[in-house]
Amino acid sequence: MAEIDRYRPEDRRQVEALYRRVFGPDAAEANRLRWDWQYRRNPNVPADGPLIWIAREGSTVIGQYAAMPVRASVSGQEIAAAWGMDVMVAPERQRQGLGDVLFRTWDRAVGASLGLGLSDASFRLFKKLGWPVVGPVPCLVKPLSRRALRRPSWPMAVNRFVSYVTLPWVRLVARTRPLHGEVSTIRQFDDGFTRLWTRIGGRFAFAVRRDAAYLNWKYIQTPHVRYTIAALRRDNEVAGYAVYRHAQEPRGRVTLLVDLLTDPDDHAGLLTLLRWVDREARAADSDKIRTFAMHEGFRKLLRKSGYYPVKSTMEFVAKVNAVKVGADFYKSTDLWHVTLGDSDQDR
């Protein structure tokens, strides 16, 4: 029978070897590069070390549940929550109930247990264990060039035809619009962002606390990707931000709008940030901008700015333990703020 307890520094080599077996050498190498940042430098990591549980058989590591601790605002109350990630069971020990025990161990220890962008196996296990399914997190795309609508699965002739017939529409939605407000790029989130969160965090029915310490860790100190951050200021006070990066994909260049925040009622502020991102994406020669947004108010403004919904594969499960929430809480997610920047989705 396996024994489950917390991760110890001397487990590192065995955990890395197991990761390589379960996820393959490329993912293992990427994980090695991120590990210290992801599990030790997170400002919410508890004093007794990374939030990782290990399943052992004697001295052999046969499974892991690793989590990212965050503070979350749930209906106006702040609680300790954790995103589940990098969960694995040794191939020869899968489907014998070990995952079940690991998931429950994590859930018992945290105020809310959250999962985003799940593999088929873990999504099924979450559902089997009765976690509320609140996703997928909607995905929206804004076309900027006639290559925006290309799909790798279509033959080139079809792609060319689609580009040709949709060009007038793409030109219309991609046109430049004026900025209202002071936007500038920053290399550090200062206390103004914590004040912004203190002012508006309670407006979301669910959102991870986006204070300066979290934001600097999540978007400035990342070893594996480099983000650009645009800050919106009004009357010398921070009113919002957008985090984005440009990437090359098989059928063109994309700007990923990874995270954004304003007061949900500050429509002018959000539109200004979106227009800034449009300009940056165009300057980077992107064919489209892609984002994930759960909040209905933000999505409405995204649609108004030329984004349109596409199929999302970013599944989302959430279970709140620390405060009492009704079944309705999980059914009406219009005021939940979840983006590609949450959990470890953008890797």
Which one, 70 or 238, has the nearer CB to ligand COA? 70
Q: Amino acid letter at 92?
A: E
Name the pairing type of β-strands 206-208 and 182-186: unpaired
Angle at 245 between CA 241 and CA 247, to 5 degrees: 160
Q: Which lies closer to ligand COA via its Cβ, residue 77 or residue 119?
A: 119
Which amino acid is present at 305?
Answer: S
CB of 122 to ligand COA, least distance (A): 4
Look at the block and give the residue holding tokens 């508006």: 200
Query: Nearer Cβ to ligand COA, position 19 or 204?
Result: 19
Residue 285: partners with Cβ closer than 8 Å, 6 or more residues away? 253
CB of 221 to ligand COA, least distance (A): 24
Which residue sits closest to ligand COA, CB atoms considered? 99
Rounded CA gap, 202 and 189, in Å? 20
Q: Determine contact, residues 290/140, Cβ cutoff 8 Å.
A: yes
**Cβ distance to ligand COA smaller for residue 278 or 315:** 315
Nearer to ligand COA, 97 or 223 (CB): 97
- Phi, psi at residue 82, to the nearest 5°? -150, 135
Assign 65 to helix, strand or coil: strand
Interface residues with ligand COA (CB under 6 A)?
22, 87-89, 94-100, 118-122, 124-125, 128
Distance in Å, CB of 324 to ligand COA, minimum = 28
Residue 343 C-beta: closest distance to ligand COA, Å? 10
CB of 346 to ligand COA, least distance (A): 15
- In the bound state with ligand COA, the residue whose beta carbon lies nearer, of 21 and 234, is 21
Tell me the pairing of strands 206-208 and 336-337.
Answer: parallel
Closest distance of CB 88 from ligand COA, Å: 4
